[in-house]
Amino acid sequence: MARDVIDAIQSVVPLRQCTVRMGRNYRAPEDAPVCSAAQLGVAYCPCSGTADPAVYAEAVSAVVRIMSGDAQDAIEKLTAKMRKHSQAQRFEEAGDVLSRIDALETVLRRMQTARELVDAGSFSFAPGVRLGDGVIAGAAAISYQIDCGRLRATHVDGVIFSPQLPPVKIDFDELLSPPTLGAATLPVNADVIDEILCIARHTRAASTVEDPASAA
């Protein structure tokens, strides 16, 4: 999926496709070659010094906007590519573009889910089995404290659950602290996205659990 998302973005935003390491003070050598993607006009090539810094910065900003959820324009461009391939009876290529669209939309849905959970701040919930008349039973004695999408604490019968673990040299206060997301428009930190999505699935399942009798 990750490869499909990268291909989807690169097919609508002319990001560089070369792999030269470029630091903040990078200066292109006078004899730096222009990558083949740039020669074909489908990508910029800042590592060769042929890309205007301001223009390339806008391309990078476009990627940030896409991954922040503002992807309608990118999806419309991809859809147009898919239709063009289909009309030309290049169905395999149309299928490849469709896979990229699906992958991009899937990732964006996950990002939106994670962002909503992070924005919810601190809250607690107790999973259980929903019975008739809205009564919840089962694991109600267990509750979870969520802080910005991360599990902060677990309570059993109102008492915080403190498992006995072997001593490890880890600062758990730092490990369990709310994620630093930076600007609100930036994607959720990749270091915590797996945990946030896991919590999101768990809370969604707890809030939508059906009556076991009706599901039988």
Same domain, 141 and 104: no
Asked if residues 15 and 60 have their Cβ atoms less than 8 Å apart, the reply is yes
For residues 146 and 66, membership in a common domain is answered with: no
- Residue 187 is predicted with a pLDDT of 57
Three-class SS state of 20: coil
Closest CA to 192 of 146, 149, 152: 149
What confidence category does residue 148 fall into, taking pLDDT thresholds of 50, 70 and 90? confident
Q: Mean pLDDT across the stretch 180-191?
A: 55
Give the pLDDT mean for 69-83.
93
Q: How far apart are CA 203 and CA 108, in angstroms?
A: 19
Same domain for 15 and 99: yes
Residue carrying structure tokens 């810094």: 53
Tell me: pLDDT of 55 over 90.
yes
Boundary of a domain, candidates 81, 101, 118: 118
Domain end (from 118, 144, 171): 118
Closest C-alpha among 203, 197, 21 to residue 126: 203
Q: Indicate whether 110 and 33 sit together in one domain.
A: yes
The SS3 call for residue 137 is strand
Binned at pLDDT 50, 70 and 90, residue 211 comes out as very low
Contact 17, 37 (CB under 8 A): yes
User: pLDDT grade, residue 79 (50/70/90)?
Assistant: very high
Whether the model pTM is above 0.95:
no
Claim to verify: residue 161 and residue 83 sit in the same structural domain = no
Domain boundary residue, one of 118, 144, 166:
118
Model pLDDT, residue 93: 94
What is d(CA 56, CA 62) in angstroms, rounded to the nearest whole number?
A: 10
Helix (H) or strand (E) holding 144: strand 142-147
Examine the pLDDT at 179 and tell me if it is beyond 60. no
Task: Report the number of distinct structural domains present in the chain.
Answer: 2
What whole-number distance in Å separates Cα of residue 150 and Cα of residue 193?
9
The neighbouring-strand residues paired with 142 are 156
Range of the domain at 197: 121-215
pLDDT of 81 reads 94
